[in-house]
Structure 1
Amino acid sequence: MPKALILVADGSEEIEFVTSYDVFTRAGFEVVSAGVELKENHAHMTRNIRIVPDFPSLPSLGQEAVHEYYDVLVLPGGGPGAKTFAASAPVLDLINAFRDAGKYVAAICAGTTALVAAQKKHGGGRGRVTSHPSVREDVETKGGWEYSEERVVIDRNLITSRGPGTALLFALTIVEALAGREKRAEVALPMVIADTL
């Protein structure tokens, strides 16, 4: 059974967080969320929804072994939340550890900026990615990453997507990457998903 770790911060985008958590659960994944620098016991999301993560912070997970246990690290967008991820040394170290271990790192919307920050801190290869249009310059021009306007982009162990409107496609793509096309179809069918996302 694949294992997914989803990060959440104040100002994370709720559709991107909840859709990923929901779809992974439907796929039978072990799913855990962890707060990053939360001011309270919940994350205050971009549209005033409050999310209580499974773990209030990364250190409570035993961070040194996180990249060994989980198969994918997921970073939702939302401008303020993404800034928190990109400025958090533990998050950048975690991204690097997942990438070095050949595990998947998945970022949607402004979450892609944390990939850029991790690469600046640790070096290593850039990739072909996408993001919300509002942070394209930070990713492409300032970050030097190859940019695509596709709804979801897979480049080796990186999966990126554009925003709330692509959250379902993003989550299903992660399911397929970790569990195969049949599992993706099994999850999508009872959700009555349109042929074109």
Structure 2
Amino acid sequence: MKKVLIFLADGFEEIEGLTPADLLRRGGLEVTTVSIMGRRTVTGRSRIPVEADCLFETCRIDEADALVLPGGMPGVTYLSEHQGLAEALKEAAKKGKLVCAICAGPTVLGGLGLLKGQKATCYPGCESGLTGADLSTDEVVESGSFITSRGAGTAIPFSLKIIERLTDRGNSARVAQSIVFCDRVDS
């Protein structure tokens, strides 16, 4: 079973952290939420407390197949300032592991120089943080070993793309169908 770590910090966007946790688990992936705050309870942007599965200091990051960063402020600031997480992201990228980020989360990757030469997207207005990336306004962008997405409204397609990448398209479609997620129709 593929292992996915979702990193949480105070101020994270709850939809962007918990939607992937929920949907990836539905897709049969082993998901662990990881607090970088030195305590298991992390409070999201909307002041919703969430109990992380483990602390960064005790988590086996090297065993993960994918790392996921949600957006939300000041959560992204905490993520970008965490030296241990920076090293883990660089090591994962070096090994070709899947690295995923949504909303302002891709700016953490941009700040580390990981998106140079990659196509990427982010929350509107955060584009300057995607240093060296080929910018896109697509809701979800897959480029090399990176998946990026735009924000809370794209959390479901972001999650489904991660499932597809780590398992297969059929499993992703099964999860989409199980939550009654249908293609949106332009009005």
**TM-score interval for Structure 1 and Structure 2 normalised by the shorter chain:** over 0.9
Amino-acid identity (%): 34
Alignment of 1:45 with 2:36, yes or no, is: no
CA-CA distance at 1:88 after TM superposition: 1.1
Q: Matched residues in 2 for 1:192 and 1:34: separation? A: 28
CA-CA distance at 1:194 after TM superposition: 1.5
The number of aligned residues is 185
Give the conservation status (yes or no) of the 8 Å contact 1:103–1:157: yes
AA partner of residue 58 (structure 2): S
CA-CA distance at 1:58 after TM superposition: 1.1
Aligned pairs (5 A) from 1:23-172: 23-38=23-38, 40-55=39-54, 57-62=55-60, 66-67=61-62, 69-119=63-113, 125-139=116-130, 143-172=131-160
AA partner of residue 138 (structure 1): G
Superposition TM-score, scaled by structure 1 size: 0.89
AA partner of residue 42 (structure 1): T
Greater helix fraction, Structure 1 or Structure 2 = 1
Q: Secondary structure at the match of 2:37?
A: coil
Q: Matched residues in 1 for 2:161 and 2:40: separation? A: 31
The structure 1 segments of at least 4 consecutive aligned residues displaced by more than 2 Å after TM superposition are 123-126
Give the conservation status (yes or no) of the 8 Å contact 2:10–2:43: yes
Give the conservation status (yes or no) of the 8 Å contact 2:111–2:129: no
Give the conservation status (yes or no) of the 8 Å contact 1:92–1:117: no
Unmatched tracts of structure 1, length 5 or more:
none
Superposition TM-score, scaled by structure 2 size: 0.93
Q: Matched residues in 1 for 2:96 and 2:28: separation? A: 22
CA-CA distance at 1:196 after TM superposition: 2.9
Unmatched tracts of structure 2, length 5 or more:
none
Q: Matched residues in 2 for 1:93 and 1:196: separation? A: 38
CA-CA distance at 1:144 after TM superposition: 2.7
C-alpha distance after superposition, 1:41-76 (max 9, x if no partner): 311100111111000x211114xxx23x11110000
CA-CA distance at 1:85 after TM superposition: 0.9
